[in-house]
């Protein structure tokens, strides 16, 4: 018998509509999974059972009257602890933030979910201020992979990825400044979309500037499209938001990929060493797109590795986060974060503008690339999940997390939509993700291609065992 914790948001809403079960049933099941797995996985900063059950009761009453508030009324949702949510502190993984402030404002995406009746089950873990591609922090410790608790969940939206994978609610809000929804989604076997910059409004503005996006982390592409229809609504607090979407992200979701021009880049022109098991799983996903009628060609985007430019922008943003902290408070920071903040503070304005020049040229190159190709497909990551509690794999020769994420951060620089779809596992049973990228504003096309993989059975893997090992 299918458990409620195994259902997607689309399936839950359909079940509520038919009266097969209620939001109270679904929320209780999600809370039970959150509480059962918290000791081993550490996905949550806070599990908010009392408030969630109260919200679920109200939702159940609305469904009984046939008057749901919106598209996700009664669906259990979690929120990364970087995004404001009224009624409780947003601590951002840091001991430097006091919980005794006034917490009376929702971030735009949280506000839209609340308006549509979502039930908030808890706040998920993040590295301090979301600074790195794994999830551990001085505040909340290490978040672990549901497929193997000795491995990392990835980051920085690691708690959100683990919550969805573990069955603690099918929807979660994450943020992505260099891969932070895609990295943990790939490591934990779920779907995630980094939308075009500005498509989902963000407030307060990120110290990492226009690298930072808000995106859905979900069971599959259909759930992400549903969630985008909620969170992509305008909010006047974000001066850089895009105008309203022209149509629902669910419109045309099942149109398939026949006739689409797909560039398959297995290693960004030989710049990236990809593990064989990862390469094989991604190639099978690409072959599925071709079998469904896409015109697939092996082709690489024309850009040199932009890691130096990205790090200039990213580390400068980190330095801005702590700029006004007194020395005593800085001692509370993650040592790695202190180090990159020091590096970021040493960059000059000319260094920063030179990085912006690289970014603009990269955007130009990708604009021309997508004049020829509708989609770019790559591995999401060249590796599978490594040991928990480390910023980079032991012995890999990388000092920083940017060394093992060469497929993700370039598309934060260009602000393009990019998604990760689980497409297989390695010999250790660890998930592999395939990344789908499109031109700016073509978010719906990314979702459509991802949906084609799910429909053909090439997307998605078996969920982790109920009791994480």
Residue positions annotated with a catalytic role: 80, 156, 180
With residues binned 3-state (H G I as helix, E B as strand, rest as coil), the percentages for the chain, rounded to 5, are 40, 15, 45
| Exposure on the CB side of residue 397, measured as CA atoms within 13 A | 1
Cα–Cα distance, 14 to 432 (Å, whole number): 30
Cis check: omega of the bond before 296, within 30 degrees of 0: no
Cα–Cα distance, 157 to 154 (Å, whole number): 8
Cα–Cα distance, 392 to 284 (Å, whole number): 27
The dihedral of CA 72, 77, 80, 85: what is its sign?
positive
Pairing of strands 375-379, 261-264: parallel
Looking at the DSSP assignment, which residues form a beta bridge with residue 296? 262
Identify how many contiguous H helices and E strands the chain contains and give both numbers: 14, 15
- DSSP for 280-320, written as a single string: HHHHHHHHHHHHTT-EEEE---S----HHHHHHHHHHHHHH
| Exposure on the CB side of residue 109, measured as CA atoms within 13 A | 33
Q: Enter the tokens of residue 273.
A: 């060493």
């Amino acid at each position: 018998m299918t458990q409620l914790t195994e259902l997607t948001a689309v399936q839950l809403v359909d079940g509520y509509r038919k009266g097969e079960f209620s939001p109270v049933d679904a929320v209780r099941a999600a809370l039970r999974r959150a509480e059962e797995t918290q000791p081993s996985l550490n996905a949550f900063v806070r599990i908010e059972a009392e408030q969630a059950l109260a919200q679920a009761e109200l939702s159940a009453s609305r469904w009984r009257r046939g008057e749901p508030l919106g598209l996700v009324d009664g669906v259990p949702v979690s929120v990364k602890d970087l995004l404001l949510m009224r009624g409780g502190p947003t601590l951002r993984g840091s001991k430097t933030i006091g919980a005794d402030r006034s917490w009376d404002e929702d971030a735009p995406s949280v506000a839209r979910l609340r308006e549509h009746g979502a039930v908030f089950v808890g706040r998920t873990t993040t590295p301090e201020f979301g600074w790195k591609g794994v999830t551990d922090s001085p505040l909340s410790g290490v978040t672990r992979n549901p497929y193997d608790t000795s491995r990392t969940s990835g980051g920085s939206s690691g708690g959100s990825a683990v919550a969805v994978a573990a069955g603690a609610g099918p929807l979660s809000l994450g943020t992505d400044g260099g891969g932070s929804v895609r990295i943990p989604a790939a490591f934990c076997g779920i779907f995630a979309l980094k939308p075009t910059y500005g498509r989902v409004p963000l407030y307060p503005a990120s110290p990492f500037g226009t690298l930072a996006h808000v995106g859905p982390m979900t069971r599959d592409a259909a759930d992400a499209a549903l969630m985008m229809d909620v969170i992509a609504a305008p909010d006047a607090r974000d001066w850089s938001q895009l105008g309203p979407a022209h149509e629902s992200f669910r419109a045309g979701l099942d149109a398939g990929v026949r006739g689409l021009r797909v560039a398959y880049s297995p290693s960004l022109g030989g710049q990236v060493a990809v593990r064989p098991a990862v390469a094989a799983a991604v190639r099978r996903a690409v072959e599925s797109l071709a079998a469904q009628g896409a015109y697939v060609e092996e082709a690489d985007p024309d850009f040199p590795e932009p890691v130096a430019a990205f790090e200039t922008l990213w580390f400068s943003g980190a330095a801005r986060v702590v700029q006004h902290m007194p020395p005593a408070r800085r001692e509370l920071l993650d040592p790695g974060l202190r180090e990159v903040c020091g590096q970021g503070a040493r960059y000059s304005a000319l260094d920063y503008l030179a990085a912006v020049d690289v970014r603009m040229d990269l955007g130009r190159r990708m604009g021309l690339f997508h004049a020829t190709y509708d989609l770019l497909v790559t591995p999401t990551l060249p590796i599978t999940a490594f040991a928990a509690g480390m910023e980079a794999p032991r012995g890999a020769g990388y000092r920083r997390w940017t060394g093992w994420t060469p497929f993700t951060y370039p598309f934060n620089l260009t602000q393009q939509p990019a998604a990760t779809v689980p497409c297989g596992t390695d010999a250790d049973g660890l998930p592999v993700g395939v990344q789908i990228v499109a031109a700016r504003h073509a978010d719906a096309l990314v979702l459509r291609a991802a949906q084609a993989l799910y429909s053909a059975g090439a997307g998605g893997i078996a969920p982790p065992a109920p009791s994480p090992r």
